[in-house]
Amino acid sequence: MEYSTFGRHVAVDTWGVNFEFLNNAEFLQAHMVEAAEACGATVLSVQAKQFEPQGATVLVMLSESHISIHTYPERGFAAIDCYTCGETVDPQLAIDYLVSVLKPEKTYAKKLIRGLGEMSVVEPEIKQAVLVK
C-alpha cells in the first residue's frame, strides 16, 4: 500500500481575544478537543500548561498530526496551529471552530501545503464557524 505525504498546515495569529478565554488552559483544552472532533481528526493525547501569572499552552496530538495554541492574555494574543496529513481531515475546520470560540477582533492566517515537494503558501479564508453543542 502506498501512502501520501500530502498535508495542510494552517497557522493563525489572533488579536483582541478576551483575557479570560486565553488565561484558562482547561477551557482551551476542551475547545481544542472539540475542534479536533469538528474536523474529523483522531485525538491521541492532550498536554496543557497554565502559566503564572498568565498564559497557557495546549497541544492536542492527533493521529493525523497536531493542534496547538500558545496564549498571551495580557496582549489579547493567541498563536494557533493545526497540521494534518492526508486528504480526509481538513485543518481549516478546526481553525474555524477555534476562531468562533475565541472571537478575536483580528486574525492573520497562512496555510502551507506540505508533502508534495516545495511547500506552497495559500491565503486561507477564516470563517466564524457555527458552534454546535
Q: Domain with 72 in it: what CATH number?
A: 3.60.90.10
With pLDDT > 90 as the criterion, what percentage of the chain qualifies? 77
pLDDT band at 104 (very low <50, low <70, confident <90, very high): very high
Which is nearest to 44 in space by CA: 59, 23, 26?
Answer: 59
**How does DSSP classify residue 73?**
G
Grid coordinates representing 71?
Answer: 496564549
- The reported pLDDT for the residue numbered 107 is 95
**In-domain check, residue 133:** no
Angstrom distances, CA of residue 28 to CA of 15, 58, 100, 129? 16, 7, 13, 17
Grid coordinates representing 19?
Answer: 483575557
79-99: per-residue pLDDT in tens? 999 999 988 999 999 999 999
106-132: per-residue pLDDT in tens? 999 999 888 787 767 877 766 654 444
| More confidently predicted of 104 and 114 | 104
Angstrom distances, CA of residue 118 to CA of 20, 33, 121? 40, 31, 10
**In-domain check, residue 103:** yes
Q: Which residues are catalytic?
A: 65, 70, 85
**Domain span at 81:** 7-122
Element (H, E) at 66: strand 65-72
**In-domain check, residue 132:** no
**Amino acid sitting at position 65:** S
How many domains does the chain divide into? 1
Element (H, E) at 2: none
- The reported pLDDT for the residue numbered 5 is 84
40-50: per-residue pLDDT in tens? 999 999 999 99
Alpha-carbon 22 to chain mean position: 14
14-68: per-residue pLDDT in tens? 999 999 999 999 999 999 999 999 999 999 999 999 999 999 999 999 999 999 9
Element (H, E) at 76: none
- The reported pLDDT for the residue numbered 123 is 72
